[in-house]
């Protein structure tokens, strides 16, 4: 069996991430409680509704264990609302301020091909649904892609956050990047 990847499964489309991970030979584990974080090789915080996710994280006592796991070096991918959850105002993992629904409400959802810094194979097809963007970031944050001048993909240390839904595009390169990342042993 491949790497064990936890997917925060409090709300959002965690099942689509699990399908992609299984296709890539990884073990996908739905995480709802702190004990679900044990033994993981990587973590995904999926899209969904950030307020509902925040309430679930608080209710289940996950904030501290998530911070500890990521601080220990485990690779993490935050997608859409996952980007928001990793920002300064939420889990404080990334030195960013994310703007919720930055591109507009549901009717303003769109798809675009993006060039992501450090991702080989040409543009990545990106699906934006009520997507955030990075309003502000610190000097240690690397911007990987922008749309209309706004950062929509960033990396800091072992954490990558994107404003779109890679699990919906059919392109598995971001998930492959997560699986190939060197985390803790």
Whether 40 contacts 6, CB under 8 Å: yes
Q: How many CB atoms lie within 10 A of CB 68?
A: 12
Among 67, 51, 89, 61, CA closest to 159: 67
In the chain the first and final C-alpha atoms are separated, in Å, by 16
How far, rounded to the nearest angstrom, does the alpha carbon of residue 162 sit from its chain's CA centroid?
A: 6
Residue 157, Cβ density class (10 Å: 0-12 exposed, 13-18 middle, ≥19 buried): middle
Which residues belong to the active site? 80, 165, 167
Helix boundaries (H) for the chain: 14-23, 50-60, 63-71, 81-86, 173-180
Whether 109 contacts 101, CB under 8 Å: no
Integer CA distances (angstroms), 13 to 33, 83, 121, 152, 162, in order: 17, 14, 26, 19, 15
């Amino acid at each position: 069996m491949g790497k064990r990847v936890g997917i925060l499964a409090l709300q959002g489309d965690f099942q689509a991430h699990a399908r992609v991970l299984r296709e890539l030979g990884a073990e996908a584990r739905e995480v709802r409680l702190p004990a679900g974080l044990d033994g993981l090789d990587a973590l995904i915080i999926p899209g969904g509704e950030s307020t509902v996710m925040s309430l679930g994280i608080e209710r289940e006592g996950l904030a501290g264990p998530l911070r500890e796991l990521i601080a220990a070096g485990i690779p993490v991918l935050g997608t859409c609302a996952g980007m928001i959850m990793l920002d300064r105002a939420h889990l404080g993992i990334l030195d960013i301020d994310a703007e919720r629904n930055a591109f507009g409400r549901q009717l303003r959802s769109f798809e675009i091909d993006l060039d992501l810094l450090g991702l080989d194979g040409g543009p990545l097809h990106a699906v934006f649904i009520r997507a955030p963007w990075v309003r502000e970031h610190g000097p240690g944050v690397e911007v990987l892609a922008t749309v209309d001048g706004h950062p929509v993909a960033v990396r800091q240390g072992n954490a990558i956050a994107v404003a779109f839904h890679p699990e919906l595009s059919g392109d598995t390169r971001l998930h492959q990047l997560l699986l190939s990342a060197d985390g803790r042993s």
